[in-house]
Amino acid sequence: MEGVITAVDAAAQTLEIYGQTYAYNNATQFEYGAAENLAPGVVVELNLAFNNGEQTVTKIEFKQLSVTDGKLKGMITALDNEAGSFTVNNTVFYVNTQTRFEDDNDQYIALNSLQLNDLVEVVYQVEAGQNIVLRLEREDDNEYYEESEVEGYLTAFTENSVTLSGLTIAMSVDAVYLLDDRRVTLAEFIAALVNGVILEVRGNYDANGSFTANKFELELEDDNSDDDSDGGSDDGSDDNSDDNDDGQDNDGATTGTYLEIEGRVSAVGADNRFTVNGYEVDISGASELELNGRRVSAAEFMAAISAGTIVEVEGSLNEAGVLLAREAEIETSDDNGESDDD
């Protein structure tokens, strides 16, 4: 779950994201920051665990673009150990003593252990005209081809493509376009583009190295809550104008706001509707419904839901405050046997 922090209580070890309170503890892992860096306006991604019916934050990843300038994946096409550099997507990156290297099994490695054609994810910052690597992770095929994010400064664009982090990405009318957390058309999104803005793009790499995007995000209203990121994941990510709200009053969310939420179902209604985190969700028009990674119909999806089922939903709010799902997912196999809890 990813979103913008709206409140922090350091003494109670809680934070809020658009009205929903999340508890962390001394065992919570932090990536690209620490507990003292939690503050309103900071963009974070939370990993959640559900134990005995209670929700706990197991990991907090900071996703603030004031910390880093970009993130991308690609294949290493050139290496210079002496200069401390490598090339991905025709872009040269430099490492220093602060660069963190990780292998696909989370073991630390060094620059001289990298090889040509390695698949890597790079988080970097631009300093004096050079791309300085903050974190590099070597990935296996499975991890590399999972849904991931590319993000960086826009260097060129046309009516159907954008270029950032050395990668040109095609823009399809079928993708989701978010402008200041509101879903817009492809034409409206392109009209707002100008070189130098920071874009976040979500999608997948294929075996040929091409990146197919399914979601584009641009934040113009407040550059210091710009997304992101030193971080990464995907996954995903995630992900993100993705404001996980509980809000019985839907704090911070207005008509047209695009949300990504995750939580336990509190009520199941008629007409393909259920309630999660205080939002009434309607999956009638969803283009993608998944149950344990398998595409299902709305009827099959609703048959798998009961009070307590953990659901991920992505979509837009309508004028009545109903979250019209674009995608929804249930992963019962990953919930430690608790997804069936009532």
Listed range (159-168, 249-258, 311-320) with the worst mean pLDDT = 249-258
Flag whether pLDDT at 89 surpasses 50.
Answer: yes
Contacts for 133 with CB less than 8 Å, ≥ 6 apart:
93, 94, 95, 96, 99, 122, 123, 124
Q: To which residue do tokens 């994201």 refer? A: 17
Q: Place 103 in a pLDDT band, splitting at 50, 70 and 90.
A: confident
Which domains are delineated in the chain? Answer: 2-62 (2.40.50.320), 70-144 (2.40.50.320), 148-225 (2.40.50.140), 258-334 (2.40.50.140)
Tell me how far apart the alpha carbons of residues 145 and 148 are, in angstroms, rounded to a whole number. Answer: 8
Mean pLDDT over the full length of the chain: 80
Q: Average pLDDT, stretch 48-57?
A: 80
Mean pLDDT of 316-327: 87
User: Contact, 326 vs 287, CB < 8 A?
Assistant: yes
Specify the 3-state DSSP secondary structure of 301: helix
Q: Is the pLDDT of residue 222 over 70?
A: no
Q: According to the model, what pLDDT value does residue 92 have?
A: 93
pLDDT at 220: 77
Contact between residue 199 and residue 154 where contact means Cβ atoms under 8 Å apart: yes
Segment 162-181 shows an average pLDDT of 88
Q: 258 versus 291: which is more confidently predicted?
A: 291
How far apart (Å, rounded) are the C-alpha atoms in residues 80 and 112?
9
Res 188 pLDDT > 90? yes
DSSP class of residue 103 equals -
Taking the C-alpha atoms of residue 284 and residue 297, their distance in angstroms, rounded to an integer, is 10
Q: What percent of the chain has pLDDT over 70?
A: 82
CA neighbours within 13 Å on the CB side: how many for 286? 27
Structure tokens at 38: 């939690």
pLDDT of 235: 38
Averaged pLDDT for residues 37-41? 76
Share of the chain above pLDDT 90, in %: 30
pLDDT recorded at residue 246: 38
* Residue 85 CA from chain centroid, whole number: 28
C-beta contacts of 7-16 below 8 A and 24+ residues apart: 7/40, 8/38, 8/39, 8/40, 10/35, 10/36, 10/38, 15/44
For the segment 59-73, the average pLDDT, to the nearest whole number, is 70
Q: What is the dihedral of CA 210, 295, 329, 58, to 10 degrees?
A: -60
Rounded distance between C-alpha atoms, residue 271 and residue 201, angstroms:
33
Note the pTM of the prediction, 2 decimals: 0.52
First to last CA, the chain: 22
- Region of 293 (left: φ > 0; alpha: ψ -120 to 50; beta: rest) is left
Structure tokens at 182: 């509101």
Residue 76, classed as helix, strand or coil, is strand
